[in-house]
Every structure is written in C-alpha cells, then in structure tokens.
Chain A
C-alpha cells in the first residue's frame, strides 16, 4: 500500500507570509504527527492528531497550528513566517494512539523562508 505522502516537497516563502503543508497518512492509519527538523535543534515534535482532535502538542508558538480531516488527512499551517522556520517538516502516521505502534514517516516538506 502507498506510504505517507506530503505535499509540496519544496517550498520557498518570504518572511511574514503564511504556509500550509499537507500530509496524507497510510490508508487505515488514524494518527498523524508532525515534526520539525533543523540543523540546530534536530527533530522536534510539533503536534499529533487523532480522530480530528489534537492529542499532543510540542513546545512551539501559536503560529504553528494544524488540523485533521475526517479521512485522516492532515494539514499544518505556519503564520507570520520567520527565518528560523526554515526547516524540514515531517509527517508521520500510525494506526492509533497506543504506544505499541510503529510510525511511518513521509519524505518531508523542505520549507525555506527568505
């Protein structure tokens, strides 16, 4: 079956703009998590959605938000972009919220903020 897909793969924005990233989980997976990866901070958890509800949230400002649709697809939005938001944004899907599930990561969206 198809893996986790993320669109777009690459994005260039300027400071102050906003951006929306999309993630389609593996069919049947109901949990979607988002991560940010930068050279300085490494991989950091942003948030997790399950059944259209945010279940966990990382330590990021309110400019970072997300949502999940009834078909489990998820979007994350970053408003008022800053240079420091340049990063690889990764989405991961899992069957449910049980800790005994592997997560499958997508290829990521590389965001560059100029």
Chain B
C-alpha cells in the first residue's frame, strides 16, 4: 500500500481556510485517498475521499493533483471545533477496509 507523509502540526486562525497537505508519491491507480480526523479521545471521523477528481462535501474539499502524488484537504472556514488530528490514508479499491494510520497532522485552530 502507498504510504503517506503529512506535516506533524499546523495552526490556523478561526474563520480562515485550513489547508492540510498530504504526499502519497507511490500511490497506485486503484488506490483511494481518504481523510479522517480524530478529536481528542473520540473515535476517528470520516471526512472525505477521492480517487482522481477533486471532491467536495459539507465538511471539506479534497484537491488531488493531476499526477495523484499529493493532495490537500481544505476546511473552508475553520472553527475551534475543527481542532483535531487529521489523517491522510491511501487504501486500495479491492482490499477491504484496512486503514493504515500514520502520525497525521495535528491542526490547532486558534481564536
């Protein structure tokens, strides 16, 4: 499975957009990019996923580069409740639901 690289921590001002990068340079053609987040002491929460195209839902936008080697999760208007650890995970389309969590990015949203 492709491995991912994320910055260990980031800060963002409340109300501003949070842009979280993820590098997955060894991704294969059939692997999805998933984003989950974990707020302290809670179970991880699904945010968004994509294969090739950019995706948007009520929580966030996912921008995947044309070569698929990196992606960016965008929280358009970060709030204090978005303070969490964000995980970028690559998962094959035909290998079940095993998620391999790395260290993630600890996002701190500040007032």
Identify the A interface with B (CB < 8 A): 4, 31, 33, 35, 42-45, 48, 50, 55-56, 58, 88, 90, 92, 94, 97-108
CB distance from A53 to the nearest CB of B (A): 11
Smallest CB-CB A-B distances: 3 pairs: A105-B43, A99-B93, A43-B101
Identify the B interface with A (CB < 8 A): 30-32, 34, 38, 41-46, 49, 51, 87, 91-103
User: Residue on B with the closest CB to A55?
Assistant: B96
Name the B residues within 8 Å of A44 (CB-CB): 101
Q: Are B43 and A58 in contact (CB under 8 A)?
A: no
**Which applies to chain B's interface (DSSP): helix, strand, loop or mixed?**
loop
Name the B residues within 8 Å of A35 (CB-CB): 99, 101
Name the B residues within 8 Å of A88 (CB-CB): 41
- Number of A-B residue pairs, CB cutoff 8 Å, is 72
A99 to B33, CA, bound (A): 10
Q: Are A99 and B94 in contact (CB under 8 A)?
A: yes
Question: Which one of B34, B43, B46, B99 has the highest number of Cβ atoms from chain A below 10 Å of its Cβ?
Answer: B43
Q: Are A45 and B98 in contact (CB under 8 A)?
A: yes
A101 to B36, CA, bound (A): 13
CB distance from A87 to the nearest CB of B (A): 13
Name the A residues within 8 Å of B91 (CB-CB): 99
Name the A residues within 8 Å of B42 (CB-CB): 107-108
Q: Are A90 and B43 in contact (CB under 8 A)?
A: yes
Q: Are A33 and B44 in contact (CB under 8 A)?
A: no
